[in-house]
């Protein structure tokens, strides 16, 4: 997971409540469920569980925009449920789209849409190895 971003048809929902803040998650059971689904890849596990910087950033930038409907706990619960319901790596593997090989955006999108029934938003970018797929929006 990179983030869970609320949508609005007329505008982008970012930084809706700049004065409201993320509250560090203290419940160990929730942390143990959240961390493998939404790892903070730039930090070691212990530091990320203590500091929670990436979760804080994502919640303050995007999660607070839906606070009137979902509180912080519900926001992270929804993120985990979405992650569990859409296993992109398994979807791609089942459709024989494997890391290290070349595919078109249409091939990747069609494979995901067959399972998810919705058009995904693959985001390609260049790296030292060439064009790669670092992110898929669902």
DSSP 15-84: SS-TT--------HHHHHHHHHHS--TTS-HHHHHHH-HHHHHHHHHTGGGGTTTS-HHHHHHHHHHHHH
Catalytic (active site) residue 8: no
* Distance between CA atoms of residues 122 and 11, nearest Å: 21
Q: Which listed residue (8, 35, 58, 135) is catalytic?
A: 58
Q: Which listed residue (53, 62, 67, 132) is catalytic?
A: 62
Catalytic residues: 2, 58, 62
């Amino acid at each position: 997971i990179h983030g869970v971003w609320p949508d609005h048809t007329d505008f982008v929902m970012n930084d809706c409540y700049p004065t409201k803040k993320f509250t560090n998650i203290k419940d160990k059971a929730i942390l143990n469920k959240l961390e493998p689904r939404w790892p903070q890849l730039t930090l070691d596990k212990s530091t990320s569980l203590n500091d929670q910087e990436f979760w804080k950033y994502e919640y303050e930038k995007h999660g607070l925009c839906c606070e009137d409907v979902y509180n912080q706990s519900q926001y992270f619960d929804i993120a985990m449920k979405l992650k569990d319901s859409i296993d992109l790596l398994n979807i791609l593997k089942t459709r024989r789209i494997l890391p290290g090989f070349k595919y078109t955006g249409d091939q990747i999108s069609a494979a995901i849409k067959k399972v998810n029934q919705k058009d995904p938003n693959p985001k390609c970018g260049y790296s030292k190895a060439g064009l790669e797929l670092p992110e898929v929006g669902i």
